[in-house]
Amino acid sequence: MAFQLSSLRRLWQPRHPLFWLIIGLQLLSSSMTAALHVLQPQGPLRAALVLFALINTLAGWWLLARLWRETAPPTGDKHVQGPSDQQER
């Protein structure tokens, strides 16, 4: 359970610009997928929406992996500090 919480802390970074870029790309991919299902476009418009949705999804995954690497704890440190751990008490 502790591993899951520390993993979530590494991904939940609202002060990090990559976090919001990932959220934006995922929302854009979801809206394109919804448009594909609701509008059911034909021909080149369908191909373009599918291509853009796939590119957005892949870009979101790449940014997520980058955020994961950037927030990794230092080597040898088993504890991931959250914002509440860094404050003086």
Structure tokens at 16: 């990090």
Q: Give CA–CA dist 79/73, Å, rounded.
A: 7
- Answering whether pTM is above 0.85, one says no
Q: What is the mean pLDDT of each run of 10 residues along the chain (89 residues)?
A: 65 84 92 92 93 92 88 63 54
Distances (CA, A) of 9 to 4, 12, 51, 68, 69: 9, 5, 32, 10, 13
Placement of tokens 């959250």 in the chain: 82
Placement of tokens 């440190």 in the chain: 77
pLDDT for res 89: 47
